[in-house]
Amino acid sequence: MSEYLLTQVINYGAPLLAIIVLIGGLGVPLPCTVLVIAAGAFARQGILPWHTTAILSLVSVVIGDALSYSLGYYSRDLVLRRFSETPRWLQAEQSFQKWGPLSIFFSRFLVTAIALPVNLLSGTSLFPFRKFFAYDFLGETVWIFGYGGLGYLFGSQWELVNEFLSNFGGLVLGVILFFIGIKQGMQWLKKQQRKVTPAG
Amino acid sequence: MPAPVKSKQRVLTIVLTILGCLLITFFGLRAFHAFKKFNGHRPPPGQVETDVELIRDWMTVPFIARMYAVPEKIIFDALEILPRENRDKSLEEINREYYPETDGLAMQIVKAAILAHQPPPKAAPPPAPFPSPTPAAP
């Protein structure tokens, strides 16, 4: 898939890349990060104009994210019918209001695997759209200019950059899961201690 | 001592911690290996690529021509195909269409054409002549 899309990006340039990242923003699993890094390298080789490519891709991916946010927003009733007023759902909503901005920002470029769930949850939990847009735009700017910039900087070594970054994203996801696990464990231990020494 | 209670939270703790450790080990090692592979062989700005090992199956002839600053015609001539019909095709497609009997033949031809077109590497400058001892002034 990546190889086919790379050939097509060479042939059709920035407009095709913009369409691909828009579809990626909607949640279709496409190798968008690979293409953004490669596009940076292509810009260095003079194949793509870097400014048009970067701006078109940024606008497209933000539109894609906004559409998946609205998907969550308009499917709120369906979700609430299933989970409404359950303590778990209320807890999830509260914690998203607290951690939402960070999740939105970092899931744009560092842990892209959770980008779609974050978009949907933002909409479903009625996270303010303006705030969503601001963090989304910032995160996507880092993705397009940062990752594309690395491709530009490393030129023909962009495949190594991609290999490193995709593994680094997995590493960060592992660290996040590990710390959530530790936090859960500490909460569980506290509960156990309260059971052993009841207050009175 | 209270009897151990197998709560959902405990299971979640164990699963998340183990999964986290596995991901850290797996992706950490892979990221480290990728980082180690970086080297400084990319050409400095303003210079063209010379390493033909960087040619990939997904590349098109015009792309390769631009990357290595070789006229497209030279590559199309080497492949013995017409430019107009094959400009948008990847090397893999060209290989499948024109050289179906040998895998990777199109790439080999392209590599050879580029190497043949590249100027020979500049010879190292001759070492400076060893300064002969000057006779001491009388």
Distance, in Å, from the CA atom of B107 to the CA atom of B57, rounded to the nearest integer, reads 7
Looking at the partner chain, which of B34, B54, B57 has a beta carbon nearest the beta carbon of A163? B34
Below-70 pLDDT ranges, chain B: 1-6, 39-47, 120-138
Interface A:B, Cβ pairs < 8 A: 125
Among the partner-chain residues B17, B25, B58, the one whose CB lies closest to the CB of A181 is B17
ipTM of model = 0.71
Q: Does B3 touch chain A (CB under 8 A)?
A: no
In whole angstroms, give the CA distance from residue A164 to residue A153.
15
Domain boundaries, chain A: 2-196
Query: Rounded to whole angstroms, how far apart are CA atoms A141 and A57?
Result: 10
C-alpha A54/C-alpha A43 separation (Å) is: 10
For the question of whether the overall pTM of this predicted structure is more than 0.80, the answer is no
Q: Report domain extents, chain B.
A: 52-117
* CB contact residues (below 8 A), chain B span 45-104, against chain A: 45, 49, 51, 54, 56-60, 62-63, 66-67, 88, 90, 92
Burial annotation A99-123 (CB, 10 A radius, 16+ → b, else e): ebbebbbbbbbbbbeebbebbbbbb
Strands (E), A27-124: none
CA dist A19 and A5 (Å) reads 11
The dihedral over CA atoms of A125, A127, A128, A130, expressed in degrees to the nearest 10, equals -130
User: Which pLDDT score, from 0 to 100, does residue B47 have?
Assistant: 63
Q: What confidence tens digit (pLDDT) does each residue in A105-138 have?
A: 988 888 787 888 888 888 888 888 999 999 999 9
- Taking residues A141-164, what's their average pLDDT? 86
Contact A152, A39 (CB under 8 A): no
